[in-house]
């Protein structure tokens, strides 16, 4: 059976249980219980979970909401250039494990979210795609899918996925993993 690793923030925590169910007959799924938070935190976590991640046939990962949030009103926690630097470092380490690395774009928030803004999310997603595609990282555009009906897919906490959002994203994540793993 093939092995997939799921990395990332609380959006990953939202969909990982359903992804595990969807892939149970094709993949052994490794995921850690901790929230991957910022890209820099995920980068540090690669050291902690190295022995678990090794041998993965596919790695699916996301980071974004923590990096781009603006809780003090003075800009994103992680400046754009630092975000790009961190995700490129993460990708470089993951690509040493498997050529089948997938980055999921950051999902939208409800417009009334006072700390995360969809324009900033789109900007960080754009930067991520521009940085990661040339490295050979596949892109899973969860943002485009969830943006089609934010009220339906993003819950009342203004950032996490509703049950329908979990189903949508889990289906997209599982499909991208199957494709990368050569299972159609």
Confidence at residue 128, expressed as pLDDT on a 0 to 100 scale: 98
Q: What percent of the chain has pLDDT over 90?
A: 97
The superfamily in CATH containing domain 2-180 is SGNH hydrolase (3.40.50.1110)
User: In the structure, what pLDDT confidence band is assigned to residue 53 with cuts at 50, 70 and 90?
Assistant: very high
Q: How many angstroms separate the Cα of 150 from the Cα of each of 3, 52, 116, 153, 165?
A: 32, 35, 14, 5, 9
Torsion of CA 134, 5, 22, 65, to 10 degrees: -70
- The rounded distance, in Å, linking the Cα atoms of 145 and 128 is 17
- The rounded distance, in Å, linking the Cα atoms of 112 and 26 is 40
What is the distance of C-alpha 99 from the center of its chain? 17
Kindly report the backbone phi and psi dihedral angles of residue 87, in degrees, each rounded to the nearest multiple of 5, phi listed first.
Answer: -70, -30
Tell me: pLDDT of 121 over 90.
yes
Whole-number average pLDDT of the chain = 97
Per-residue pLDDT, averaged over 47-74, amounts to 96
Q: Delimit the domains of the chain by residue range.
A: 2-180
Confidence at residue 32, expressed as pLDDT on a 0 to 100 scale: 87
Confidence at residue 33, expressed as pLDDT on a 0 to 100 scale: 86
State the DSSP H helix or E strand holding residue 6, giving kind and residue range, or none if neither.
Answer: strand 2-7
User: In the structure, what pLDDT confidence band is assigned to residue 152 with cuts at 50, 70 and 90?
Assistant: very high
User: In the structure, what pLDDT confidence band is assigned to residue 183 with cuts at 50, 70 and 90?
Assistant: confident
């Amino acid at each position: 059976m093939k092995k997939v690793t799921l990395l990332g923030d609380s959006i990953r925590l939202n969909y990982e249980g359903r992804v595990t169910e969807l892939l149970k007959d094709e993949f052994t799924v490794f995921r850690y219980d901790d929230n991957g938070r910022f890209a820099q935190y995920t980068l540090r976590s690669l050291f902690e979970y190295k022995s678990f991640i090794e041998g993965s046939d596919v790695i699916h990962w996301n980071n974004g909401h923590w990096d781009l949030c603006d809780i003090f009103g003075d800009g994103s926690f992680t400046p754009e250039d630092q975000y790009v630097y961190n995700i490129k470092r993460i990708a470089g380490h993951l690509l040493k494990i498997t050529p089948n690395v997938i980055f999921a774009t950051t999902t939208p928030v409800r417009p009334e979210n006072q700390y995360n803004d969809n324009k900033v999310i789109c900007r960080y997603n754009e930067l991520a795609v521009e940085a990661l595609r040339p490295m050979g990282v596949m892109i899973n555009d969860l943002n485009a899918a969830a943006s089609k009906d934010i009220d339906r897919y993003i819950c009342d906490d203004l950032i996490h996925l509703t049950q329908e959002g979990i189903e949508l994203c889990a289906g997209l994540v599982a499909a991208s993993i199957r494709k990368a793993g050569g299972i159609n």
